[in-house]
Amino acid sequence: MSLGVKTWSLIPVLLVARLLFGQTDTSNDMKHGIVTGTVVENKSGAPLRKAVVIIRHEQEEGTGTSTDALGKFTLRDIDPGTYQVTVERDGYVATRESERRVLVVKAGETNSDVNGSPGYVAATNDLGEYRASGIAPGEYKIAVSYERERGQRQVRMQRPAGADGRVVTDAYPVTYYPVTVNVTPRLETHGIDVQMIRTHAVRVRGHVTGLSGSMGVLTIQAIGGPATSLRTSMVKTAEGEFEFPEVLPGKYMLNAIGVMLGAENRLTASRTLDVGDTDLDDVQITVSPSQTIAGRFITPEGRKLPAGVIVALGCRTPGDNMQAGGFAQVLPDATFNIKNVSAGDYDLLIKSNAASDDLYIGSIRMGNTDALADGVHVEGSPELLEIVLNANGGTAACSVKDDQGSIVPGSHVVLVPDGARKRQFALYADCKADAEGTCKVTGTAPGDYHLYAFPGDAEVDFLRDPDFFKPFEDHGKSASFAEGQEQQVELQPVPSE
């Protein structure tokens, strides 16, 4: 693979590792918690030494540690709260699944039950050649993206004009190898060549207003594009100028964040951009203070909310800025506060580790708005979010077998409401098949659903996009649930191709 110039290309081969937390330590400090576990390769099960495990609470700096020769790690003296977990290692890059991982730390306990997964990367040399080693046997997809040489990343490069006086800018779009690659034990796979083609690109620049002396950071990412399409630009002057060179045509999400030391809330804004064949030189975006969404759960008389419930806000439009929402752990009094929420429209997502609880969502209201159907609109001073739970929900008892009748352990089962309720993302649910190929979804709201089984390594954890499931409708099974009803559902895995 030769491009005629020296390039650095990221080759994500989706070789993942698993981040396992367990009860292997105890704490004598009743004011703090301990996080302990092991990082292993997902396919081979081999421990990963010198991996860096990082936990972050909201926008704080974060706490990290490295794994030992057995892939084990321990984080001590951790304040109680809800944390995002990432795992990093040289030669690996975090996947979207790992970026969504959440961990609840409790005082006086060793925590908890979260998975993380970095993917493998390699870089080309000056001949455009690359070599990725240490890959466990299996099938992989390969994507190639171009990144400027390190010395050019923060440099505004002036491009030469053509014969007609116009400045022409080119860039390389993310390019995928057309077929999956089968990696076999103890053998080298050769000839996986990818031809990257220069494509016309444009410049996007403009001004962000409302910063009021705050430090401004902007990001731009292709909607529906890979994580490698995310780019960052700092505000350059007091006038709030920003610039993104070499942007390929397409639809993007532009996000602005203003941070001021000592301020409780960030200044944020988001907008979509349609980038065509010409430069965009006057893009305007205005930041405003982020908000805190306060809410509470209302349970049936005599019932308590299960421990460990987490609520999150996901952008209502697929592909929008996933960092604009936020998440929070529900407190023992069934209340919660989601901080630093940007203005916009969201759907509420709820995660509970109470696998056998029969409580289900009856309604979600925000003032006079049906937030379950219409979403959560954040603008100005938001009203209290109330989540009403009912008892005696339905149960989907699922078994996953292939077309030969053999059980398929580790499959990821997703339950999707039918009809108009497809937009009611809080009603989505999932479970992971055990060694016998079975799992249960409890606390199902009455109504009609489709159920799907995906391969265990598929990135479908809490996926909330109805359009994603359209190509797989022939592979799903329909089921209806009444209060207290258990349905037996046998599924076949969705084909990987």
- Is 2.60.40 the CATH number for 291-390? yes
Predicted local distance difference test score (pLDDT) of residue 477? 94
| Arithmetic mean of pLDDT, 26-51 | 70
Looking at domain 17-116, which of 1.50.10.20, 2.140.10.10, 2.60.40.10, 3.90.105.20 is its CATH number?
2.60.40.10
Higher pLDDT, 421 or 460: 421
Which amino acid, residue 212?
S
Predicted local distance difference test score (pLDDT) of residue 370? 95
Measured between alpha carbons, how far is 193 from 181 in angstroms, rounded to an integer? Answer: 11
Q: Is the confidence at residue 97, as pLDDT, over 60?
A: no
Q: Worst-scoring range by mean pLDDT, 137-146, 170-179, 420-429?
A: 137-146
User: Which residue ranges make up each domain of the chain?
Assistant: 17-116, 199-280, 291-390, 394-491
Highest mean pLDDT pick, 16-25, 273-282, 460-469:
273-282
Question: Percentage of residues in the chain with pLDDT exceeding 90?
Answer: 27
| Arithmetic mean of pLDDT, 298-323 | 79
Per-residue pLDDT tens over the stretch 324-334: 678 888 999 99
Predicted local distance difference test score (pLDDT) of residue 170? 76
Predicted local distance difference test score (pLDDT) of residue 219? 85
* CATH class of domain segment(s) 199-280: mainly beta
CB 202 within 8 A of CB 278: yes
Predicted local distance difference test score (pLDDT) of residue 237? 79
CATH of the domain spanning 394-491: 2.60.40.1120
Q: Is the confidence at residue 383, as pLDDT, over 90?
A: yes
Question: Percentage of residues in the chain with pLDDT exceeding 70?
Answer: 75
Q: Is the confidence at residue 1, as pLDDT, over 60?
A: no
SS (H, E, C) the chain: CCCCCCCEEECCCCCCEEEEECCCCCCCCCCCEEEEEEEEECCCCCECCCCEEEEECCCCCCEEEECCCCCEEEEEEECCEEEEEEEECCCEEECHHHHCCEEEECCCCEECCCCCCEEECCCCCCCCCCCCCCCCCEEECCEEEEECCHHHCCCCCCCCECCCCCECEEECCCEECCCCEEECCCCCCCCCCCCCCCEEEEEEEEEEECCCCCEEEEEEEECCCCHHHCEEEECCCCCCEEEEEEECCEEEEEEEEEECCCCCCCEEEEEEEEECCCCEEEEEEECEECEEEEEEEECCCCCCCCCCCEEEEEECCCCCCCCCCEEEECCCCCEEEEEEECCEEEEEEEECCCCCCCCEEEEEEECCEEHHHHCEEECCCCCCEEEEEECCCEEEEEEEECCCCCECCCCEEEEEECHHHHHCHHHCEEEECCCCCEEEEEEECCEEEEEEEECCCCCCCCCCCHHHHHHHHHHCEEEEECCCCEEEEEECECCCC
Q: How confident is the model at residue 127 (pLDDT cuts 50, 70, 90)?
A: confident
Per-residue pLDDT tens over the stretch 214-243: 788 888 888 766 656 678 888 877 888 999
| Arithmetic mean of pLDDT, 457-479 | 74
Predicted local distance difference test score (pLDDT) of residue 24? 38
Model pTM score: 0.63
Measured between alpha carbons, how far is 141 from 14 in angstroms, rounded to an integer? Answer: 7
CB 461 within 8 A of CB 455: no
Q: Worst-scoring range by mean pLDDT, 6-10, 292-296, 365-369?
A: 6-10
Predicted local distance difference test score (pLDDT) of residue 324? 61
Q: Do 199-280 and 291-390 share a fold?
A: yes
Higher pLDDT, 22 or 163: 163
